[in-house]
Every structure is written in C-alpha cells, then in structure tokens.
Amino acid sequence: MSRKTVLQLASLEPSDMQTQLMDNYEVLTDIDAASHAEIVVTAGNVGLSGAAMARLPALKLIAVNGVGVDAVDLPEAARRGIAVTTTPDVLSLAVAEMALALALDAGRRMSEGDRFVREGNWATKGKLGLGNSVLTRRAGILGYGRIGRSLADLLRGLGMQVTYTARSRKHDSLDSFAADPVTLAAECELLFVTAAGGSDNKGLVNAEVLRALGPDGIVINVARGPVVETQALADALSTGMIAAAGLDVFDDEPNVPQSLLNAPNCVLTPHIASATVQARRAMAQLVLDNIAAHVAQKPLPTPYKD
C-alpha cells in the first residue's frame, strides 16, 4: 500500500520524532507539490488558511502541533469535513512553568540585572535597585483552560492566592472567580494571560484593565500576542501605570515593537513557553498518534473541541 502524503508546514521536535514522520509517510513541504496531500502538519502560529485548504482537494486531516487554532480556518475545515487535531495537556505544565519564570524575572529584575552586570554597571553604578516580591502577591489568571488551571495549581502550591476569569464560573475550582478582566485586574497584582487567541479575545487586556491592575502590577502573557493591546501595554510600562511585564508572545512574530524593546521593565522571550524537550516530544507523539489513527480509520486521540 502506498504511503500517505503529508504536507508539513511545521517541524516536529526532537529530531527523532521528525525522522519517524518521514519514515512512515511521504513528507512534502511545498504546497504546490503536495496538492494531493490528505494530511497537513502545522503549528498553532502557522495554521492553515481557507485559501490554502482550497489548494488541497484531498485534505482530510489538519494535525496541529500545539493547542492554538486561531490561525486555522475552522469554519472552512468544518464545511469540508476536515478533521482538526491539537496536542492538549502535554504542554500545560511547560507553559505554566514559563509563566511563573517570567513573573519571577520581571518582578525580581533578573534579566535587567543580567544586563546590568554584563555592561559593567555594577562596578561603576553600584547596586541595581529593589525589585518586587512575587510569591507574596495575589495572582489573577485570565483564561482558565488547561494551561490556566495548571498554572493555578502551581501557584496555589507555592502558597499564592489565585483568582480567575473565564466564560463561566468553574464550580469544581479551588480558586476565586472574577466576572470580567477589569474586576480580575483590580483584585490581583500579577495578571497571567492564558486565554485562547482569536478575534473574540483580541484586546482583552486593554488600557482599562492595565489601569485597574495598578502601579505595582505585573502582566505576563503566554497566550497569544493580540490578547494584550500592545500600544496600551507599552504606554503603561513607560508611564508607570504598571510595574513590569513578561511576554512570550507578540502580535507579529518574530517582529517585536521597538516600544517593547526599549522598555527595561519588560522581559521578552521568543515564544518558547512550550519549548522543553519533554513537552515537545509529547506534542510530536500526539501528532504522530493522530495521523496514525486517521490512516488506520480509528478514532482520533485528541480532536479539537471548541
């Protein structure tokens, strides 16, 4: 039996997982050469547009290596009966770890202190100055899905008070509920953004939310760049409306606005929240498992559910 053709728009990591894909399928990276492909492997930030789907008449499965689907044309996939899978749960802890790391870095001025030492300022200018405690703060989580709840467990385990905002109150939660982002921001000092991307959540963290967070507040975004209004955040950082921010995601990756690059109280990382060997291996395995199930005409392990 001939091998199924896979159009690959995003690589699998570590390299041995990529090797498994290539050993079992005809893997192509050029959409024009792969017009007969039945399967597409993509990533959350790459997705698959409706226009691209139109160039793939045999397409039956979109396997997303990640949890984000805002770049996938879901209505078109549904109209054509194309299955979409993601890799949930296996990256939740890695992203939660990154969110906490960014909060510690931004609050305790770790990256700023690293630059201070490397530039020779410790010897010439004395001490850097005081940071802010993180673990004594009240935490707010905007978006209470798998990642948000994993983060809540982590923070609660460190003795932190946690409040969350979601579309509805979660009655099985140990944390407090705030009805909207402004209320959440007013009740916390660390605002963790873990909400899904997409048009519904664009600009969810705006100037009003940042004002409610206040001058001691820290914003951490490990969700999608557009969930936080970039200009409003840059203004809040430069005017002291908030104390600091830690960002792993941006509107137009890999391009980061100069206003954020210029902000010494803003920690920047290149969308690496899930970039651990353990998480990426588990993600890649789920991609392979979903493809194998599709080919064998078995139930998909992790179909996307809105």
Q: Look up 187 and say whether it is catalytic.
A: no
Nearest of 14, 49, 18, 17 to residue 31 by alpha carbon: 49
CB 264 within 8 A of CB 112: yes
Q: Cα–Cα distance between 242 and 222 in angstroms, integer?
A: 18
> Is residue 24 classed as helix, strand or coil in its secondary structure?
helix
Q: Cα–Cα distance between 290 and 279 in angstroms, integer?
A: 17
Q: Cα–Cα distance between 31 and 40 in angstroms, integer?
A: 10
Catalytic site residue from 224, 229, 280, 294? 224
Assigned token pair, 190: 């660390």
Q: Cα–Cα distance between 181 and 304 in angstroms, integer?
A: 26
Instruction: Spell 160-188 as b/e; 16+ CB within 10 A means b.
Output: bebbbbbeeeeeeeebebbeebbbbbbbb
Q: Cα–Cα distance between 23 and 78 in angstroms, integer?
A: 30
Q: Look up 13 and say whether it is catalytic.
A: no
Q: Look up 36 and say whether it is catalytic.
A: no
Q: How far is CA 190 from CA 77, 155, 179, 194, in A?
A: 38, 11, 17, 13
Instruction: For residue 219, count other CB atoms closer than 10 A to its CB.
Output: 29
Assigned token pair, 234: 């840059």
Catalytic site residue from 3, 115, 169, 253? 253
Catalytic site residue from 156, 211, 271, 281? 271
DSSP state letters, 157-214: HTT-EEEEE-SS--TT-SSEE-SSHHHHHHT-SEEEE----SGGGTT-B-HHHHHHH-
Q: Active-site positions?
A: 224, 253, 271
